[in-house]
């Protein structure tokens, strides 16, 4: 099977061409978020590994691995949103996208990114209100560590805000594609 560069499909194949990814170069916000995700993953592995070892070898548990692991999982989830956005890692309806012209794909991407920005801004606002409420009332987790809840909730607000910044960068990419003089012709890599 021979794949042509221009269409991304096999010669003689009548399937739609492969879609061009809308990858935006990682900026400083996405880089910091990626490093924070990597650090959270390492912290989670070390704490859970230590707890497994102490339970096996010493028949003792620090009883914090579930709590810290949950916080690290939340950090990875929210901080990775911006990284996933700029790397075009979210799901797309390719059945429809593949049949659109490059301009139609850019318009579709712009529309979906505008909706994403609206929802991400709404989430940022609500997570910020939740964060301030936790700070103001001094809420603590009902666990052994009694972690102040403003700490994990702050990560949610930061992750949603970073997603907003990443979506704005993606929107700018779609606008540049729409303004390109050859936006109505197929893209040839």
Q: What is the pLDDT of residue 101?
A: 86
pLDDT in tens, 36-76: 999 999 999 999 999 999 999 999 888 888 999 999 999 99
Band (91; pLDDT cuts 50, 70, 90) = confident
Contacts of 16 (CB under 8 A, 6+ apart): 9, 98, 99
DSSP string, the chain: -PBPTTTSSBTT--SPPPPPP-PPPP-HHHHHHHHHHHHHHHHHHHHHHHHHHHHHHSS---S-HHHHHHHHHHHHHHHHHHHHHHTT-S---HHHHTTS-HHHHHHHHHHHHHHHHHHHHHHHHHHHHHHHHHHHHT-B-SSSS--BTHHHHHHHHHHHHHHHHHHHHHHHHHHHHHHSTTTTSPP--
62, 51 in Cβ contact below 8 A? Answer: yes
Higher pLDDT, 10 or 96: 96
CA pseudo-torsion sign 177, 179, 184, 189: negative
Q: Mean pLDDT over all residues of the chain?
A: 85
Q: What is the pLDDT of residue 82?
A: 95
Band (88; pLDDT cuts 50, 70, 90) = confident
């Amino acid at each position: 099977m021979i794949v042509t560069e221009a269409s991304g499909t096999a010669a003689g194949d009548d399937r739609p061409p492969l879609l061009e990814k809308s990858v935006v170069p990682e900026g400083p916000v996405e880089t910091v978020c990626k490093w924070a995700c990597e650090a959270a993953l390492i912290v989670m592995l070390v704490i859970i590994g230590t707890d497994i070892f102490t339970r096996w070898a010493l028949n003792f548990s620090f009883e914090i691995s579930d709590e810290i692991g949950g916080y690290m999982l939340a950090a990875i989830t929210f901080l990775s949103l911006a990284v996933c956005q700029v790397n075009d890692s979210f799901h797309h309806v390719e059945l429809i996208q593949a049949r659109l012209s490059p301009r139609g794909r850019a318009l579709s991407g712009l529309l979906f990114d505008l909706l994403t920005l609206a929802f991400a801004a709404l989430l940022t606002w609500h997570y910020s209100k939740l964060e301030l409420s936790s700070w103001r009332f001094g809420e603590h987790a009902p666990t052994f560590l009694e972690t102040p809840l403003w700490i994990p909730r702050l990560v949610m607000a930061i992750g949603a805000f970073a997603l907003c910044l990443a979506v704005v960068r993606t929107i700018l990419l779609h606008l540049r594609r729409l303004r390109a003089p050859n936006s109505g012709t197929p893209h040839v890599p």
